[in-house]
Amino acid sequence: MVESSKGGNAPIPVALSSASVYPLNVHDAFAVSHDLGYDGVEVLVTGNQVSQDALALNRLAERYEQPVMAIHAPTLLLTQQVWGTAWNKIESAASMAVQVGCDVVVAHPPFRWQGTYATEFATGIRRIMEEYGIKIAVENMYPWRARGREAKMYLPHWNPVPEPYEFVTWDFSHSAIADMDSAVAMRDLGTRLTHVHLCDGLNNGKDEHLVPGRGTQPVIEAIEYLRDSAWDGVVAVEVSTRKAKGAGEREAWLGETLQFARRHLAPVSTGAESGSHSI
């Protein structure tokens, strides 16, 4: 069972990833999160200057009453030019997490060509976690294929389940591409499961980050497992809205996903808790 430090039946918080409003910016993410009723925001650090500025993020968090619940380090292929070296990306993200008051940094596993950063990744993130007092939750990725064969992109692997990472982020879209069962993986991770990217996907080689229910992942089973295990983490909605036709459809998709999350994460009341009695 995934242990929890939460008291009672407090619901699992649901955050909005700033990646979900792309190509809009971080400011828009806070505004949308507030308008739709999310509990907070996960900030993906990109080339956008506000995403790199802790003071600016704190101002947005205060203005929109949306705390920053996680920092996603710029470890994507598309953010290789952000914050310099690979280790500097992780350290800067850890420092920002402290400054904005959250304790989770999401990071992708290293690419094979990243030298000692890749070979010393597990020990390096452990040192940074100890130094900054935060959790670096390594995200599950998926195999890359070229001409029908798997290209070895990550070191040691795209799957964090068997690796010696203390904390893990689970992403349903990535799991779909890898043809993995998220519900099984979450149980296998146990207490190491720290953070979740809520979305859906198809096993078609495309990282689509669909609205839950539009793919093939056992999303309901997986997040109800979190609920029933009194899991102590944050579910961050990371749904791609790039194909949405205007703000109305984007907000409709993100509102639908929030409702989905709240419905399946809501604590289940027992008869005793509700004051009813068996006859």
In order along its 279 residues, the chain shows pLDDT tens digits of 344 444 456 789 999 999 999 999 999 999 999 999 999 999 999 999 999 999 999 999 999 999 999 999 999 988 989 999 999 999 999 999 999 999 999 999 999 999 999 999 999 999 999 999 999 999 999 998 766 677 789 999 999 999 999 999 999 999 999 999 999 999 999 999 999 999 999 999 899 999 999 999 999 999 999 999 989 999 999 999 999 987 799 999 999 999 999 999 998 775 544 443 332
Asked if the peptide bond before residue 23 counts as cis, ω within 30 degrees of 0, the response is: yes
What are all long-range contacts of 153-162, with beta carbons under 8 Å and residues at least 24 apart?
153/111, 153/112, 154/109, 154/110, 154/111, 154/112, 155/109, 155/110, 155/111, 155/112, 155/114, 155/118, 155/119, 155/121, 156/109, 157/109, 158/109, 160/109, 161/185, 161/188, 161/189
Quote the pLDDT of residue 9.
67
State the DSSP code for 200: B
Report CA-CA distances (Å) from 221 to 25, 89, 185, 191, 238.
32, 34, 12, 18, 18
Quote the pLDDT of residue 7.
44
Q: Where are the domains of the chain?
A: 14-267
Quote the pLDDT of residue 274.
41
Quote the pLDDT of residue 145.
77
- Collapsing DSSP to helix, strand or coil, 211 comes out as coil
- Asked whether the beta carbons of 144 and 151 are under 8 A apart, the reply is yes
Quote the pLDDT of residue 147.
67
Residue 190: count other Cβ atoms within 10 Å of its Cβ. 12
Check: CATH 3.10.20.30 for 14-267? no
Q: 185: which 2 tokens?
A: 């993986």
Helices and strands: H and E segment counts in the chain: 10, 10
**pTM here?**
0.92
Q: 49: which 2 tokens?
A: 């200057």
